[in-house]
Amino acid sequence: MEPRELKPKVYWIGAIDWDRRLFDALIPLPDGTSYNAYLVHGSHKVALIDAVDPPMTDVLMAYLEDIPAIDYVIANHAEQDHSGSISCVLDKYPNAKVITTPKGKDMLTALLLIPEDSFITVSDGETLSLGDKTLEFIHAPWVHWPETMLTYLREDKILFPCDLFGSHLATTDLYVTDGGQVYEASKRYYAEIMMPFRTSIEKHLEKLKGYEIDMIAPSHGPLHDKPSFILEAYRGWVSDPPKNIVVLPYISMHGSTKKMVEYLVGALAQRGVTVKQFDLAVTDIGKLAMALVDAATIVIGTPTVLVGPHPNVAYAAFLANALRPKVKFVSIIGSYGWGSKAVEQLSGMIPNLKVEVLGPVISKGFPEASDFKALDNLANTIAEKHKEHGFA
Ligand code: FEO
């Protein structure tokens, strides 16, 4: 593919990874991804903004074949999908300087063994002149690692935020054309990668209000030539109160827990609460993460395995705890044969969730009338709590 011009002398030179299906050996990528790098030609200096994932280094180097000099490599983020090919770029341009935050330098040195004298570290708000184009560096820790920064091209009003505002979406569309598809991919990306840092992101969004932004050029997925689309989506995801939604991940081995789940889902629906039910034996964890973005309550459904929760349920609880959604209430339902510590063990696995724990409903064997009554009470409590808090 040829370089694609965003503004005069500013080019996308990324790599599209159509077939990648897993990121960090953890995150499903149903629609592939891209690693967007950018080339900015000033009247005096040339800068490369971010690089690409190591397996796609050849794609980046092909773009650079006819570029005689690169003066600066802007490393917004040290994770290897954006930095892993920097060493190859430096092999071709040994005089180029890597521009990054002080923490970025530490991490790039450790991860890529880049020599000390190749770096120039920049402070928050510092600028770098390329001649007729000026880059401003905005420190923005925790989007997604502690060293991250955003780069703002002043004259063209383009923000290069690396991971922030990205989406794992392989497409030949340079800009967002299918808004529905990009919203879905961006929300999945936010849920899986950015949600644990929503408090930091809230502050960064406030800081960005001081910048005139015509275009957002992230390092994954299509670019935003209408930035309000993604800025407003992020404001809603990080700041808005949760909605009248229960997320219900569960496992059932012999049908008892499933019967309870089905009953509770019906009882909640009858009371006007939206429920998103996930059988963890078959669930795409990205879908589960997305559901957590807006949920007010999580109800975990588990049978008892060797006195504790089912391992798949423990994994889901670990994940929810790590993702730190803005959920306000948690409850546990499930079953056991001869004894269970599932409630105690699961409750101990979610210390990051600042939630009120609602009374669990645990059935010995297949649920009977008293268990269904307890599930009705739980549904009443959830519906009332949501109403009290104004979750709509
Ligand atoms: Fe796309 Fe945190 O790397």
Q: Does residue 1 carry a pLDDT above 90? A: no
Which residues have CB under 8 Å from 370's CB, separation 6+?
Answer: none
pLDDT tens track for 99-130: 999 999 999 999 999 999 999 999 999 999 99
Does ligand 1 come within 6 angstroms of the Cβ of 97? no
Average pLDDT for 344-370: 96
| Nearest one of 108, 62, 69 to 86, comparing CA atoms | 108
Does ligand 1 come within 6 angstroms of the Cβ of 81? yes
Measure the CA–CA gap between 60 and 88, rounded to whole angstroms. Answer: 10
Measure the CA–CA gap between 335 and 363, rounded to whole angstroms. Answer: 5
Does ligand 1 come within 6 angstroms of the Cβ of 77? yes
Number of the ligand 1 atom closest to the C-alpha atom of 144: 2
The pLDDT, as a whole number, for residue 34 is 98
Does ligand 1 come within 6 angstroms of the Cβ of 139? no
Q: Whose CA is nearest to atom 1 of ligand 1?
A: 163
* Average pLDDT for the chain: 97
Q: What are phi and psi of 41, to 5 degrees?
A: -95, 105
3-class secondary-structure state, position 160? strand
Average pLDDT for 371-391: 98
Question: Out of 20-24, 69-73, 222-226, which region has the weakest mean confidence (pLDDT)?
Answer: 20-24
Average pLDDT for 116-145: 97
What is the pLDDT confidence band of residue 47, given thresholds at 50, 70 and 90?
A: very high
The pLDDT, as a whole number, for residue 145 is 97
Average pLDDT for 45-54: 98
Provide the 8-state DSSP code for 59. Answer: H
Average pLDDT for 151-164: 98
Does ligand 1 come within 6 angstroms of the Cβ of 168? no
Does ligand 1 come within 6 angstroms of the Cβ of 144? yes
Average pLDDT for 165-176: 98
pLDDT tens track for 298-351: 999 999 999 999 999 999 999 999 999 999 999 999 999 999 999 999 999 999
Average pLDDT for 228-251: 97
Average pLDDT for 361-374: 97
3-class secondary-structure state, position 168? coil
Other Cβ atoms within 10 Å of 111 Cβ, number: 14
Name the β-bridge partners of 304. 309
Q: Does residue 248 carry a pLDDT above 90? A: yes
Percentage, residues of the chain above pLDDT 70: 100
Question: Ligand 1 centroid to 389 CA: how many Å?
Answer: 36
Does ligand 1 come within 6 angstroms of the Cβ of 79? yes
Number of the ligand 1 atom closest to the C-alpha atom of 80: 3
Average pLDDT for 365-375: 97
